[in-house]
Structure 1
């Protein structure tokens, strides 16, 4: 490692003094590294020289009539500031990543080391795309200057999958051109814990559960009571009633609130992947497995709560493994031999009739009783219509920000129309209707002219208008088939669950979606 000598020079503020000092350095054949000039003060940094040459240089500079004082120092002014700043950046409880316009990493603090599992000395000066994959947000920031805030991202390397929350800001020159970017990063576990810390009061826990009807207040009271224990909870209710919000409220009001709340949609994962996602696997367990294996979601939820949504969709094999975990509190990774004790509270949810599934041998009775220790029934929206005006105000406030709107009032007729409807899609459908109306609205008030109903929900009966032989039976069947698939997809939110509900294979539904050009994109959690 190269060593340097640094000097502070106090001098009269006269034109040409800097050139005279540089000339002395040149005469001694010394390599100048850097120079800082201030009124009455100069700082120089040179390559390390032996004492004799150093003394000669000092005496030579001291002979200049403008020089008042010269002394050796440990760091230049900017070096001291830079080291202080780097120490602060390394000390903060966030990752700080800075890159230039050529994708080179300029700053990579210790927190980043813990998130991405690389040492800063191995990545600084290198192309970030090699080490931090799947970061389209950062690439777009460097190209277009489009900034982002608190976005969930993931990156995969030989050390595993790294999930984190990131905020990106552009660095611009005087002409507003992007010359680099800086990102603040927090790993997912820490972000979840921080969110839970500020969400464990009663008001915070119920802030997204809008309404004050008698039935919803009673449900909230039950949530408060059951949040104090560790027993398994089975949340029942129609699709769109907000079962996940109640599960999160139970967690946030519990003594586990500072630990992770992990959500798993059992219907969203392919059947051959959900076991490895839940229980994890050892390295080399199967083709495509990560070199270092993978920690399962149950283990990630250790100390906290695991919410298994759509529990009625898991396979018989996984039901057995989940039952064993509930009985013993231990997990074994795929391909592993060792069992690990895990402290997790399980909350499940379903809109399916598990009792009927037990009769048809689709769901294990022993698992059902393990899960249904505390049943929680979420009322449908049609049973709490008095909450609709309050919900509409909540959604308008939310979408004003999202859609950059300024809607502050609602006409009475608009609310009356909402109250007449039975809401088979529940709160999710109401949310969609309000968002749709706000997109169409060009004023500061919502009226019925902007109310557009969902055709499939509004019209429950299947009707085909035809005359004589203009439409063949085959066409009628196709129309009915397409309508049934669209309805099932809306109700079950996954291709796999839709196939089960309609009594056909997963492949059949995929082929029908292609045949009828049904617009559907299944969302699989990262």
Structure 2
């Protein structure tokens, strides 16, 4: 009686093992001591795309597209093999596989392997990366990895960025237009202990003095015509516990400079029309392409504010000072525009690369990015390599000659200032037209603020 019960239990046990083998979601394959498949489960068929009848009797390499056979390694060593990445066919999926020997009565009878599908993990990773990108767009646009370059000059800046992130001191970023001041400001924030709080960017040149003041410090209800009911929080309040990036700091008025100084000294602001102070904990990063020390000497910038801002100065190198980084930047921009424009550009010709490396880049990295973008737009859909004919005219290293307006013969003479004004007007007009009358790009290329460009265009009647 006991013997019958044991036999029934063994049959039940075998049935349970078969049920588990068939139901498990991980793909399982078994080979004999000769490396021939003798057993696979439905999950294996689904993962590989191979039917049971087609795989049985085939050798252990039959289903592998890239990588070595774990079964053969197990059979030769009689030892288990840990997680190994493989690409299988015909499905083309990437899997992580493990294998172990089958030993019966101390005799090697075969090998069993378990395959884990990595596509689900990849999908989750892609979704996580997209979510991280979205979150970064809501807080700060760039991260330290976005700083492209391995030159001595840019590596020195990277070191300074890391040091700046470790302390809460005010940072002053100095560099020509287009050197990437916002990128470096974002990177400092992303590396700092404030990374999980707001990063607020303010273009000081894009706002009038009164509007800039109300935007920075907020205002109380009824403080001016059009003020919102209940007032409005300023950007310093929005950036509390985070970072505020004041771009083109040289453009703010002396009056706003005094109020900014108070924020840096006292860590408090007062709204426009308000009669009480509000404490704020904000890390200030300022940026300029102007020589602030010169503006101080000229009485156009407060000396005490300059010293408050200049606690941790970081000078960003011009692109012409780190030309060895240009190929890396080009590669990065090609990837970016392929994604944005839905293209499949694979590289750039040696001739085109040489042209770009030898250009002086008065517009720096931003100009290089624009050139690559326009080059890809100029290409036909079937073209894959950026050739010299795709490059837009690099006119910036060919300054327009100042015409000879000095009187000759019966021509009227004029003041030198008129000659210079005429040359400046012609040059601005030429750049403006070449850039399809885009004021923002024109200001960037000329290396002046948007406010200064508007002033000059009005002065010279450029429309």
Both proteins in one fold, TM over 0.5: yes
Alignment-derived partner of residue 21 in structure 2: none
Alignment-derived partner of residue 348 in structure 1: 286
Residue pair 1:192, 1:259 contacting (<8 A) in 2 also: no
Residue pair 2:139, 2:197 contacting (<8 A) in 1 also: no
Q: Matched residues in 2 for 1:301 and 1:192: separation?
A: 20
Give the TM-score of the pair, scaled to structure 1: 0.55
Instruction: Give the direction of change, closer, same or farther, for the CA distance of 1:472–1:438 in structure 2 (3 Å limit).
Output: farther
Instruction: Give the direction of change, closer, same or farther, for the CA distance of 1:336–1:193 in structure 2 (3 Å limit).
Output: farther
Structure with bigger RCO (C-alpha 8 Å, 6+ apart): 2
Q: Matched residues in 2 for 1:440 and 1:481: separation?
A: 30
Q: Matched residues in 1 for 2:324 and 2:409: separation?
A: 49
Residue pair 1:267, 1:314 contacting (<8 A) in 2 also: yes
Alignment-derived partner of residue 524 in structure 1: none
Instruction: Give the direction of change, closer, same or farther, for the CA distance of 1:230–1:193 in structure 2 (3 Å limit).
Output: farther
Written as runs of structure 1 = structure 2, the 5 A alignment for 1:35-434 is 194-195=135-136, 205-434=143-372
Alignment-derived partner of residue 449 in structure 1: 389
Instruction: Give the direction of change, closer, same or farther, for the CA distance of 1:198–1:328 in structure 2 (3 Å limit).
Output: closer
Instruction: Give the direction of change, closer, same or farther, for the CA distance of 1:447–1:305 in structure 2 (3 Å limit).
Output: same
**Post-superposition shift, 1:497?**
3.1
Q: Matched residues in 1 for 2:164 and 2:299: separation?
A: 30
Alignment-derived partner of residue 516 in structure 1: 462
Deviations 1:398-454 (A, max 9, x none): 111222222112111111111111111110111111111111111111111111234
Deviations 1:136-157 (A, max 9, x none): xxxxxxxxxxxxxxxxxxxxxx
Aligned-residue CA RMSD (Å): 3.0
Instruction: Give the direction of change, closer, same or farther, for the CA distance of 1:417–1:339 in structure 2 (3 Å limit).
Output: same
Residue pair 1:196, 1:257 contacting (<8 A) in 2 also: no
Q: Please identify which structure carries the higher strand content.
A: 1
Residue pair 1:282, 1:333 contacting (<8 A) in 2 also: yes
Matched, 1:462 2:401: yes
Residue pair 2:363, 2:447 contacting (<8 A) in 1 also: no
Residue pair 1:309, 1:349 contacting (<8 A) in 2 also: yes
Q: Matched residues in 1 for 2:185 and 2:249: separation?
A: 14
**Post-superposition shift, 1:471?**
9.8
**Post-superposition shift, 1:252?**
0.3
Deviations 1:33-52 (A, max 9, x none): xxxxxxxxxxxxxxxxxxxx
**Post-superposition shift, 1:516?**
2.9
Instruction: Give the direction of change, closer, same or farther, for the CA distance of 1:384–1:336 in structure 2 (3 Å limit).
Output: same
Runs of 5+ in structure 1 lacking a partner?
1-189, 500-505, 518-526
Residue pair 1:414, 1:447 contacting (<8 A) in 2 also: yes
**Post-superposition shift, 1:477?**
6.9
Q: How many residues align?
A: 315
Residue pair 1:433, 1:451 contacting (<8 A) in 2 also: yes
Alignment-derived partner of residue 483 in structure 1: 426
Instruction: Give the direction of change, closer, same or farther, for the CA distance of 1:253–1:337 in structure 2 (3 Å limit).
Output: same
Instruction: Give the direction of change, closer, same or farther, for the CA distance of 1:476–1:470 in structure 2 (3 Å limit).
Output: farther
